Amino acid sequence: MKAAMTATSTGVEHVNGNANVTSRRNGQVETSSPEVTSKNHPARKYRHVAAVHSKTRPSCLSHDAEAAPSFIGFRNLMVIVLVVGNLRLMIENLQKYGVLICLSCHDYSRKDVVTGLLLYFLVPCHLFAAYLIELAAAQQALGSRKRIKDGATGPSEEDRRRFHSTWVIVAWAHAVNITLGLAITTYVVYFHIYHPLIGTLTEMHAVIVWLKTASYAFTNRDLRHAYLHPVKGELVPELYTSCPYPQNITMSNLVYFWWAPTLVYQPVYPRTDKIRWIFVAKRLAEVFCLSVFIWVATAQYATPVLVNSLDKIASLDIPSILERLLKLSTISLVIWLAGFFALFQSFLNALAEVLRFGDRSFYDDWWNSESLGAYWRTWNKPVYTYFKRHIYMPMVGRGWSPMASSLAVFTLSAALHEILVGVPTHNIIGVAFLGMFLQLPLIAITAPLEKMKLGKGGKLVGNIIFWVSFTIFGQPFAALMYFYAWQAKYGSVSKRAMAPK
Amino acid sequence: MKAAMTATSTGVEHVNGNANVTSRRNGQVETSSPEVTSKNHPARKYRHVAAVHSKTRPSCLSHDAEAAPSFIGFRNLMVIVLVVGNLRLMIENLQKYGVLICLSCHDYSRKDVVTGLLLYFLVPCHLFAAYLIELAAAQQALGSRKRIKDGATGPSEEDRRRFHSTWVIVAWAHAVNITLGLAITTYVVYFHIYHPLIGTLTEMHAVIVWLKTASYAFTNRDLRHAYLHPVKGELVPELYTSCPYPQNITMSNLVYFWWAPTLVYQPVYPRTDKIRWIFVAKRLAEVFCLSVFIWVATAQYATPVLVNSLDKIASLDIPSILERLLKLSTISLVIWLAGFFALFQSFLNALAEVLRFGDRSFYDDWWNSESLGAYWRTWNKPVYTYFKRHIYMPMVGRGWSPMASSLAVFTLSAALHEILVGVPTHNIIGVAFLGMFLQLPLIAITAPLEKMKLGKGGKLVGNIIFWVSFTIFGQPFAALMYFYAWQAKYGSVSKRAMAPK
């Protein structure tokens, strides 16, 4: 008391100033102000009279506040609540089901693996046939070119006709060859491969090769056309000059394309200088870890939810189905994100690095999609660029409307999706087809949002519609349907429902 | 086909250019490019040869990418997953418990309400006594001042002694008066008010008035001191000149302070010009809606979790207690946020508006706190400024270390918290005291994070520690403990455990 009363002070300015420091929201200033004050200006009188409320000011969340405060802390809180909420669900799951993961109780039968491998080795045979077809076409083109040069005349109408009739034969030969490959694979997978994972891998490989061969045929047709009938000013891309037609018709060129992480054939691709093996190792480690993660998540978390939903679907108990759907949506979303990263980032990058394939743009930032159209354009660029180059653009070029061209693309895509999902699960129930096909009206609905001039509002709404329709309802609904169909065909409702009877 | 083959084209640049457009990630450009292309340059040949892969480029999530992509879509996804996850829990809750909300089955007994009201009307009596004490002190000061002026001498040593002895009497009178008020209220609430909500409101009012009266006494002591012994250059804040001591010693001035949304006495506060009744109505509507929300959330979601945790606490089943704690944390967090907004934003702003109280800085952006210290400085500014002005600063001014002063603040705060929680729930078990008291070591631990030069890393860690310790564990743990103690004393474990036996 004595000390306080005998000390001098800087007076009212300081008393007020102190109150102002308190009012300024700044961690640094706030913490140190009492200590600093006490050091610079020792004891002062009238401490209890300081005007804490020195001016009129609004609360920082009020509309009259000058600037909205930062809400970064709430973003952190959201992450924490998500982690905590799911941690709790994990504890609950463990208490309810115990550990469902089991290394030895897989059901990969020897027969499935051998059949899958046989189908895998069927593919090079079909590719070799495709190579022979192109080789014959190239030989014929070389002859035509020689004739034209010898005659020293421009390409005649007869030449054009001959080119076209050759193309018809080549196209049919390719179609028969590769569709036979796909048909054999599909038949064997549907009737003779029980395990859906082996079936999916085999079927996917056949579909990819089918698409690649079509690209190979189309591209070589146009290259051949350019070779025989060069149009002034309309050159093939400069990139291809290092390997002009027909030099690209070699088996090694085709095998590279078979393995390359793209569906679009080019005689030449941008290549990197060397293989960074450390990069490859890291990407493969990611693939491994994410695969284990997906396996654990599926066995421990997704399977019980799927199993528990069976009787609810059977009795059409709508609120309970909805509850199951919502519970499934989180785990299916996590599995989907992990699968996307494992396949499109880790696996394709590793593959591209080993093949020194330069263009790694396998996806764009689809998570920011403001419409479903943007999503389909960005999440899977190999497929998007394929359909754009070989179906959409040629159709539009021939006078089809963009709408009709899009319809063609999505119809083919829907059919391929149904083949990829329905065949390995032995249930062609059309959900995958419809799921893909119904994207068109959804895209039409969300397209205006993308172009809206509402600033961020429309884009936010578009992004939310995308997430909700796709990950919250679309994916888990399809998973539920195929699981239900699978159970109806093979399974009994049991905890280990994925196991064969 | 014919159309395509007879058309002219801009050639290779365009083919390449087209591939580049595809590679640029821009919704606008991407959508329209096919259509635009087809309009500006009708049909072209060699469509299938376009070099889609025209250059070497990394995937956008790779480390070699030039810039990290935006992740705003994932923020939207987090919000959606939170909403969906909790929607699912709401469906689950409804299926499990049905509707637990019940308007008629409250348990506000008539006796509790009457007792609470009586205690409420006790407060003005004590305030009147406080006014009389200050009035007497002011009269005495007026006499002293007159004597000094008449004598035309400066304040003598004898004057100082007399001032001090008066202050001792005044302080004792105030202390006895207002502590008697608090003691009576505490006794009655603890022994005669069953309902915890009525008890809490009554007890909180008593504690607030206790704090306010202390502020009234301290401030008037310093004003009186300044009035009697003005020190050159050390003026009272300019704001007070419109109502100099002892003009502020009126009953209406004190009643205004009783109601004002502050704990700190000032003879004069910054005032607004008029009352915006629309503003008041909006804030009161918020208070009403949020109160209903809190009531529903408590009855429907928090109570079952609390009830279900009783046997787990009794049997000390740690994993189950943790599971309950985590489940409780989300709902207690939501209730806490709603309660914060209802009280600090809506209610205090409405009250301030009606009283034309200008300084609405009742809180700062505590949600961004990078340490627990920052949180305690910002979330409840009336209490923070009170302790700073009347305890921390005076102690530091008298040579106490900041640490000791903080210890004093938190000890008093801890005691008041225990009174506020333990008395109305009739269980002084010390959890609220400890919860507050243990903030000091937590603040000490997180303080370095706030000052870290790690850039955003340290601040993020500090913010996460704040959220986790406070909202994820601290709050629900305290709620669980007091509920358990309440049940041990009054309740049987039943679905309507909050109802009296």
Nearest to B3 among A269, A389, A399 (CB): A399
Of A186 and B79, the one with more pLDDT: A186
Q: Which two tokens stand for residue A219?
A: 């591209």
CA A459/CA A497 separation, integer angstroms: 42
User: Is residue B318 less than 8 Å (CB to CB) from chain A?
Assistant: no
Position A439 confidence tier, pLDDT thresholds 50, 70, 90: confident
Reading the block at residue A30, the tokens are: 């706030």
The CA–CA distances, whole Å, from B345 to A21, A313, B205, B342 equal 22, 47, 19, 6
CA angle B327, B333, B338 (to 5 degrees): 140
Quick one: closest CA in A to B333, which residue? Answer: A81
B-chain CB neighbours of A12 within 8 Å are 234-238
Whether the CB-CB separation of B15 and B51 falls below 8 Å is answered with yes
Q: What is the mean pLDDT of chain B?
A: 81
Burial of A302 (0-12, 13-18, 19+ CB in 10 A): buried
Tokens 């009188």 belong to residue: A45
Residue of B1, B81, B266, B346 to mutate for A, most A C-beta atoms under 10 A: B81
Are A226 and B447 an interchain contact pair (Cβ–Cβ within 8 Å)? no
Q: Are B20 and A324 in contact (CB under 8 A)?
A: no
Q: Among candidates B108, B296, B120, B307, which has minimal Cα distance to B195?
A: B108
Average pLDDT of the residues of chain A? 81
Whether residues A76 and B344 touch (CB distance < 8 A) is answered with no
> Residue B234 in 3-state DSSP?
strand
Residue range B206-263, pLDDT digits in tens: 999 999 999 999 999 989 888 888 776 667 788 888 888 889 999 999 999 999 999 9
Neighbour-count burial for A25-60, b at 16+ CB within 10 Å, e otherwise: bebeebbebbeebbeebbbbbbbbbbbbbbebbbbb
- Interface contacts A/B by beta carbons within 8 Å: 419
* CA separation for the pair B116, A137 (Å, rounded): 99
Question: Among A145-149, A301-305, B10-14, which is the least confidently predicted range?
Answer: B10-14
Residues of A in contact with B385 (CB under 8 A): 22, 52
Residues 6+ away with beta carbon under 8 Å from A477: A325, A431
| A363/B59 CB distance under 8 A | yes
Interface check B239 vs A, CB under 8 A: yes
What residues of B are in contact with residue A96 (Cβ under 8 Å)?
none
**For position A352, what pLDDT does the model report?**
94
For the segment A58-83, the average pLDDT, to the nearest whole number, is: 85
Sign (positive/negative) of CA torsion A76, A79, A85, A86? negative
pLDDT at A152: 53
Contact A398 B4 (CB under 8 A): yes
- 3-state SS class at B91: helix
> Between residues B345 and A231, which one has the greater pLDDT?
B345
Whether chain B has a CB inside 8 Å of the CB on A463: the answer is yes
Which residue of chain A is at minimal alpha-carbon distance from B403? A35
Tell me the residue length of chain A. Answer: 501
- Furthest C-alpha separation in chain A: 120
Residue B194 in tokens:
């069953």
**What is the DSSP-derived secondary structure letter of residue A98?**
-
- pLDDT on residue A140: 87
Taking CA A97 as the corner, what is the angle to CA A96 and CA A102, rounded to the nearest 5 degrees? Answer: 160
pLDDT-flagged residues of chain B (< 50): 1-43, 493-501
Q: Which of B12, B54, B91 sits opposite A319 (nearest CB)?
A: B91
Question: Best mutation site among B15, B32, B46 for testing chain A: the one with the most A CBs within 10 Å?
Answer: B46
- Among A62-71, A154-163, B288-297, which is the least confidently predicted range? A154-163
Tell me what ipTM this predicted complex has: 0.73
**What tens digit of pLDDT does each residue of A196-217 get?**
889 999 999 999 999 999 999 9
pLDDT at res. A10? 32
Kind plus residue range of the DSSP H or E element containing B291: helix B277-297
User: A402 and B35: CB-CB below 8 Å?
Assistant: yes
Q: Check residue B307 and give its pLDDT.
A: 86
Residues of B tagged active-site = 417
Asked if B53 lies within 8 A of A91 by C-beta distance, the reply is: no
**Interface test with chain B among A361, A386, A472, by most B beta carbons within 10 Å:** A361
Chain A residues near residue B239 by CB distance under 8 angstroms: 51, 54
Q: Examine the pLDDT at A477 and tell me if it is beyond 80.
A: yes
**B246 cis-preceded (ω within 30 degrees of 0):** yes
A316-337 pLDDT per residue, tens: 888 888 888 888 888 888 898 9
Determine, for residues B60 and A365 on separate chains, whether the beta-carbon distance falls below 8 Å.
yes
- Chain A, residues 152-181, CB within 8 A of chain B, namely none
Question: What letter represents residue A303's amino acid?
Answer: T
B75 touches chain A (CB under 8 A): yes
Query: What letter does residue B271 receive in the DSSP assignment?
Result: B
Minimal C-alpha gap between B15 and chain A (Å) = 7
Instruction: Kindly state the tokens that stand for B115.
Output: 């007792």
Q: Which of B270, B213, B404, B286 lies closest to A23 in space, CA to CA?
A: B270
Compute, in degrees rounded to 10, the torsion defined by CA atoms A238, A243, A245, A250: -150
For residue B353, give the chain A residue with the closest CA: A58
Closest-approach residue (CA) in chain A for B95: A320
Does residue B374 sit at the A interface (CB-CB below 8 Å)? yes
| A34-38, A272-276, B225-229: range with lowest mean pLDDT | A34-38
Residue B484 to residue B493: CA distance in whole angstroms: 10
Considering only CB atoms, which chain A residues are within 8 Å of B165? none
Model confidence over A444-457: pLDDT tens digits? 877 776 666 656 66
Q: Would you call B333 and A81 a contact, using CB atoms and an 8 Å cutoff? A: yes
Task: Flag if B81 and A234 touch (Cβ within 8 Å).
Answer: no
Using alpha carbons only, what angle is made at residue A316 by residues A311 and A318, rounded to the nearest 5 degrees? 110
How many other C-beta atoms are found inside a 10 Å radius of the C-beta of residue A489?
10
With contact defined as beta carbons under 8 Å apart, do A199 and A209 qualify?
no
Confidence (pLDDT) at A155: 57
Q: Would you state the pLDDT for residue A33?
A: 38
CB contact (8 A) between residue A49 and residue B240: yes
Residue found under tokens 């469902």: A100
Helix (H, G, I), strand (E, B) or coil at A271: strand
User: Alpha-carbon distance B497 to B305, whole Å?
Assistant: 11
- Name the residue with tokens 């801009």: B10
pTM (predicted TM-score): 0.72
Percentage of chain A beyond pLDDT 70 is 85
Is the CB of B82 less than 8 angstroms away from the CB of A84?
no
A42 phi/psi in degrees, rounded to 5: -55, -135
Asked if omega into A319 is within 30° of 0 (cis), the reply is no
Name the E strands within B324-367. none
Shortest CA gap B315–chain A (Å):
16
**Of A126, A195, A390, A417, which residue is the catalytic one?**
A417
Contacts of A251 (CB under 8 A, 6+ apart): A128, A131
Chain B hits for A72, Cβ within 8 Å:
368, 463
Residue ranges of B 5-34 with Cβ closer than 8 A to chain A: 8-12, 15-16, 22-23, 25, 27-28, 30-31, 34
Inform me whether the C-beta atom of residue B388 falls under 8 Å from chain A C-beta atoms: yes
Which positions in chain A touch B87 (Cβ < 8 Å)?
A: 326
Is A46 within 8 Å of B234 when comparing Cβ atoms? yes
What would the mean pLDDT of A37-48 be, rounded to a whole number? 51
Among chain A residues, CA nearest to B11: A234
pLDDT band (50, 70, 90) for residue A20:
very low
A353 to chain B: closest CA residue:
B58
**Residues of chain B positioned with their CB less than 8 A from the CB of A8:** 231, 234
Residues of A in contact with B359 (CB under 8 A): 52-57
pLDDT of residue A455: 60
Average confidence (pLDDT) over A260-265: 94
